[in-house]
Amino acid sequence: MERIERHACCGGWQEVHRHRSKAVDGEMRFAIYLPPQAQTQRVPVLYWLSGLTCTEQNFITKAGAQRHAAEHGVAIVVCDTSPRGENVANDAAYDLGQGAGFYVNATVAPWSQHYRMYDYVAHELPALIEQHFPVTRQRAISGHSMGGHGALTIALKNPGRYCSVSAFSPIVAPARVTWGEKAFSAYLGSDRETWRAYDATELVSSANEQLPLLVDQGDADEFLHTQLQPELLQAAAEAAGHPFELRVRAGYDHSYYFVASFIGEHVAYHAAALRG
């Protein structure tokens, strides 16, 4: 593992590292914000998953989360959205291939060689963070758009692994919208039954843990009615008796202006759960 960036920020340190990943069979990058409390004690971790086209840089430079993490004594880890490199399969479109891993384990060639972002996020990255940094095994997870989809599904698939989960503008039903249908067809094949393992509206109906789901959604989001449709997850959660809170924010769109406006509330929400 090699540190390639380090910046003093809000009394702590914003770092970026790269390492060789076994899960994706290639080099990966991640960012970690270590709050000032990490200089004297181990701190819990909030994992953040970004959306289509993003790298680790979008969140750490646009969301303004470091100030809130410093206030609450929480580390924030942000990974890339896919494997990358000349030998990694790609597509000319923004919603497939590099930058669009969808946090699944691909099973169809050529994607299956490297696109194992589920294993990377759920298992390999936390093990790496807990080995090399002053953090506890208390974890929370959140994300935006495609990353919100990833956060919800990874939390639902791993009972007991996370203290809390939240999402901004998540793709809650990828098996029923064009973004998800395109990606799942490529990565998982044509058998829609296999897609259910990565669809929050399907997973919530059989979840083994009643971990509350928190979703923030802007009502001016240009993708709200075509790709996101949070009401589908709301209905599925209600049918399953699963705790779910949908907060609709008037006037907000899909951008990081939306994330930056409410990230403080999410960090506080996760910090309370991590302390509890």
DSSP one-letter code for 104: -
Q: Cα separation of 192 and 61, whole Å?
A: 37
Instruction: Copy the structure tokens of residue 220.
Output: 């001016």
| β-sheet bridge partners, residue 5 | 16
Strands 135-143 and 244-249, by their bridges, are: unpaired
Question: 82, 145, 164, 169: which one is catalytic?
Answer: 145
72 belongs to the catalytic site: no
Token match 């939240």: residue? 166
242 belongs to the catalytic site: no
Q: What torsion, rounded to 10 degrees, do the Cα atoms 56, 62, 63, 66 define? A: 80
Question: 72, 114, 144, 254: which one is catalytic?
Answer: 254
Residue 57 phi/psi, 5-degree rounding, is: -75, -35
Q: Beta-carbon neighbour count of residue 185 at 10 Å?
A: 15
Cβ 32 vs Cβ 15: under 8 Å: yes
91 belongs to the catalytic site: no
Q: Cα separation of 115 and 88, whole Å?
A: 9
Question: 221, 242, 266, 270: which one is catalytic?
Answer: 221
Q: Single out the residue of 86, 82, 79 nearest to residue 114, CA to CA.
A: 82
User: Which residues are part of the catalytic machinery?
Assistant: 145, 221, 254
